[in-house]
A and B are shown apart, each in its own frame.
Chain A
Amino acid sequence: MAEKRPDRWLGPGHHREFWDWCDKGELRLQRCGGCGGISWPVVNACEFCGSEELSWEPMSGRGTIVSWSTFERDYYRGLLPIPWDTILVELEEGPLFLSNPKGFTWQDITIGMPVKLAFIPCEDSAGEYSLPVFEKA
């Protein structure tokens, strides 16, 4: 059963290709052919050096928790259950990735704890898709 989520395209910057890879069960981010840096969120040019030579590189899915925050206020007006947990994960490859915990809550979190990638079925007004989240490693 797909979870209802706020629209991915509420803001101006989302990118079809990122979500297509997610639907194939892969977390891929843009690696720069110039400096090697990985940009996230999606960019048109490398956030470190400005090069447009970018390729979609698979991430290992391993990471550690850098921080967390839990919504007690219902900003999305009933769309998401409250409290709503969010985590900030440092991917093994370097970028920080904002996501949700799967199978644990903020009470279980210690900063630095290892996590691994999982995908869950979600749905927004554009249809069903796979959302990258993280479970305890």
Chain B
Amino acid sequence: MSYGSIMNMPPPSREMSRKAAIVGLGETDYHLDYLAERAKAPGYESPTVEGLCTKAFERALADSGLKREDIDGLALSFTFGGPPPEEMAGLLGLNPRYCIANGNIMAGPLPVVCADIAAGKADTVAMVFCVASRTIGRDFGGSDEFSGEGVPTSYYYYHPWGWSSQAAHWAMIFSHYQATYGATEEDLGSVAMQLRKNTETNPNAVMQKPMSLEDYMGSRYIVRPLHLFDICLVNDGAVCLIVSRADKAKDMPHKPVEVAGWGESKIKHSKLHTMVRERLRPQFQDAGRQALEMAGVSLSDVQHFEGYDASTMHLINHIEGHGFVEPGAGLEFCKAGEMAVGGKLPTNTWGGNVSGSYMQGWAHIAEVVRQLRHEADGRQIKDVEVSMSSLAQTDQVHPLVFVRGD
């Protein structure tokens, strides 16, 4: 396993369900760090991977109430590289018996650690994620784009036609969606506005300025028909989740957040067709069913949803793909307020990748932890017991199901 590899999850099974739980949570100061990076005051130094990881880890450790010696595992996930696991363990003052490089984007890393805990490789693992994309000045398109082993062909194949970038995928999907369902840019703007509104109660969100429809429509196009406010943020930060054996988790200060289910489904052929016309629905359905079956719950039990919003359009792909609403009904669902706290499916209640923070799915899990602990101040979903998160890249879907422990 390395930091960069595309993760393969351990196969979902009932026996693996609720064997491990999240017992500690730490995040860096997304909002303040973003402001500092923009302002670049004299003497400003870009945050380092080591510094960000240390901050997130210390906060998670304090949150968990555990001592350093209680942590016998370390799993590191770095999007643009970082120190080797053993070196990072030393920096964090840990001497773990289990110490791995664990990919990067969430969801894969969590099932890997849960399965390893179930297999007895460790009891309590600090999972630390860091992305320092802004610091290294990476652009998400053009000749810089990812092109290594295992990367989907759509990321590099169409350079001669000048087509690249994540945003272009979602733009191609939305043009087709508009024509199919008669949706407008204003309709899609409702998703951007909802995500921004969700940050009203999240002081750590990168973007907190209220957004009107006029603001949305006036924001520049990145790839037509998508505006700047349809696309995920780019900011630096780290997230630490401390994950422990479920039986040990019951004696800890917070309500444990149990990892109950996961699933995985990848496009095997006809990628552009599946992506643009079906919007990954077969993969959402397949992977979602695996995760729900493993967790022993049904889709209608899900009271809180965290979807990987690489763009506003892509969040609608999740909502429709999993079957929370029929294909084509997602934007009306959002406009009716059903994705807000108090609606039928509160979604990305902290602001998501689009307005909250770009932590590659990890900050979505942080919100799951707050919601299921019933500690989401100002935006708590009443009596929530079951949350579902969902990662979907352009060619694969990885949902996770979480339940509030006893």
Contact = CB atoms under 8 A, between A and B. Distances in A.
A133 B158 CA distance: 12
B112 interface: no
B143 A6 contact: yes
Nearest to A83: B224
Interface of A is mostly: loop
A111 B156 contact: no
Interface residues of A, number: 43
A11 B143 CA distance: 9
Contact of A69 (B145, B148, B151, B163): B163
A86 B224 contact: no
A69 B269 contact: no
Contacts of B269: 37, 39, 47-48
B300 interface: no
B178 to A, nearest CB: 8
B233 to A, nearest CB: 15
Contacts of A5: 159-162
Given A69-B175, A75-B165, A12 B158 contact: no
Contact of A14 (B141, B157, B270): B157
A16 interface: no
B297 interface: no
A112 B176 CA distance: 10
B229 to A, nearest CB: 14
Interface stretch (B45-53, B166-174, B372-380): B166-174
- The size class of the interface chain B forms with chain A is 35 or more
Contacts of B159: 5-8, 10-11
Given A67-B176, A67-B276, A71-B168, A124 B223 contact: no
Contact of B223 (A7, A48, A71, A95): A71
B272 interface: yes
B176 A124 contact: no
Interface in A109-134: 110-112, 122, 124, 131, 133
A76 B222 CA distance: 13
Nearest to A80: B162
B147 interface: yes
B80 interface: no
Contacts of A48: 269
Nearest to B273: A96
Interface in A45-78: 47-48, 66-73, 75-77
Contacts of A27: none
Contacts of B276: 66-67, 88, 96
Given A66-B176, A69-B171, A88-B276, A47 B268 contact: yes
A75 B141 contact: yes
Given A10-B156, A77-B143, 18 more contacts: A5-B159, A6-B164, A11-B147, A11-B156, A11-B157, A47-B269, A69-B172, A71-B224, A72-B223, A75-B164, A76-B164, A88-B172, A98-B158, A106-B224, A112-B179, A122-B160, A124-B160, A131-B161
Return the 8 tightest CB-CB contacts between A and B, nearest first: A11-B156, A75-B142, A75-B141, A111-B179, A69-B171, A70-B224, A67-B176, A47-B269
29 contacts: A5-B160, A8-B160, A10-B147, A11-B159, A12-B149, A14-B157, A37-B269, A67-B173, A69-B172, A69-B175, A70-B221, A71-B165, A71-B224, A72-B224, A73-B141, A73-B165, A73-B167, A75-B142, A76-B143, A76-B164, A77-B142, A77-B143, A80-B162, A83-B224, A86-B163, A96-B272, A96-B273, A98-B163, A133-B161
